[in-house]
Amino acid sequence: MKAYLKKQRKAGRSVGLVPTMGALHQGHASLVRRSVAENDVTVVSVFLNPTQFNDKTDLEKYPRTLEADCHLLEECGAQVAFAPSVEEVYPEPDTRHFSYPPTDSVMEGAMRPGHFNGVCQIVSKLFMYVSPDRAYFGEKDYQQIAVIRRMVEDLGFDIEIVPCPVVREESGLALSSRNTLLSPEERTLAANIYRVMKESLSLDKTVQQTHDYVVENINQIEGLQVQYYSIVDGDSLAEVNSWDDADSIVGCITVFCGSAPIRLIDHIRYK
Ligand code: PAF
């Protein structure tokens, strides 16, 4: 992959990177198509990164579909699918420690200790291997983008981070690799998450009341259990108490769905 990219660079071609963990769906396809449109060469990494899973059962349950992934990438026009083994990426345990509070210490950072450290470990490695001009990340993982922006600033990577909008099913459910683990009934239930968050946009209530509205209305639905709903500054991810506290305000949610249960995340922009 490095030799191939060296040739492309020599020929003056720009490179886009789309980091993924595989189990690709139309959400990923939208990132890949965007990279293909904006760069001469698109590299898509398919690597189920063990260091970002604090829960090893979650890692075991994660769908693995490399062959189907490669077909989708070909259809989207990507030039390279980069799927290294765990041993190639981590010949030795990665002992590097990244810390960018509050972006990585709140919400997912608090619920999944070590998760963003693992994300920074793999994304920094991918940035070093590929050295892309641009890297594409789905806004579905809103907090991840905030953390990666801080890492890019901290380590001085000369890489443009391109956030791409969430792709949703017609029902409003955000596309996610984890959706394949939901039964058809659970999928229908899960669509209520975005429906309730969207309703909360037009409430004309305080931040606290809006928070409570979302949590109460989702928890009322049997089979859904909110783990947290945080209304935060869209850049620093610090919690806000009033709508005037920040220029950009986003609500980030995590909900357990069904009996397994499957943990789903989503977000909505208030301003
Ligand atoms: O968003 C993901 O799929 C992963 O966190 C990423 C960025 C590919 C790193 O493993």
Whether the CB of 144 sits within 6 Å of ligand 1: yes
Determine the topology of domain 2-164 in CATH: Rossmann fold (3.40.50)
Does the domain formed by 177-269 have CATH 3.30.1300.10? Answer: yes
CB distance 46 to ligand 1 below 6 Å? no
Instruction: Indicate the pLDDT class of residue 2, thresholds 50, 70 and 90.
Output: very high
Ligand 1 centroid vs 208 CA: distance in angstroms?
A: 31
Describe the chain by its helix, strand, coil percentages, rounded to 5: 45, 20, 35
203 CA to middle of ligand 1, Å?
A: 34
pLDDT digits (tens, 9 = 90+) for 228-269: 999 999 999 999 999 999 999 999 999 999 988 999 999 999
Per-residue model confidence as pLDDT tens digits over 121-147: 999 999 999 999 999 999 999 999 999
Burial 223-258 (b: 16+ CB within 10 A, else e): bbbbebbbbbbbebbeebeeeeebeebbbbbbbebb
Cβ of 123 closer than 6 Å to ligand 1, yes or no, is: yes
Q: Which pLDDT tens digit goes with each residue over 82-126?
A: 999 999 999 999 999 999 999 999 999 999 999 999 999 999 999
Provide the pLDDT for residue 180: 87
Residue 178 carries which DSSP code?
G
Structural domain spans, the chain:
2-164, 177-269
Could you tell me the pTM of the whole model? 0.94
Is residue 159 helix, strand or coil?
Answer: coil
Averaged pLDDT, 73-90 = 98
Check residue 177 and give its pLDDT: 84
Cα within 13 Å of Cα(265), Cβ side = 16
C-alpha of residue 141 to centroid of ligand 1, in Å: 9
Residue 129: helix, strand or coil by DSSP? helix
Q: Please tell me the distance from the alpha carbon of residue 215 to that of residue 227, in angstroms, as a whole number.
A: 9
Residue 28 catalytic? yes
Contact 151, 98 (CB under 8 A): yes
Residue 55's pLDDT is 86
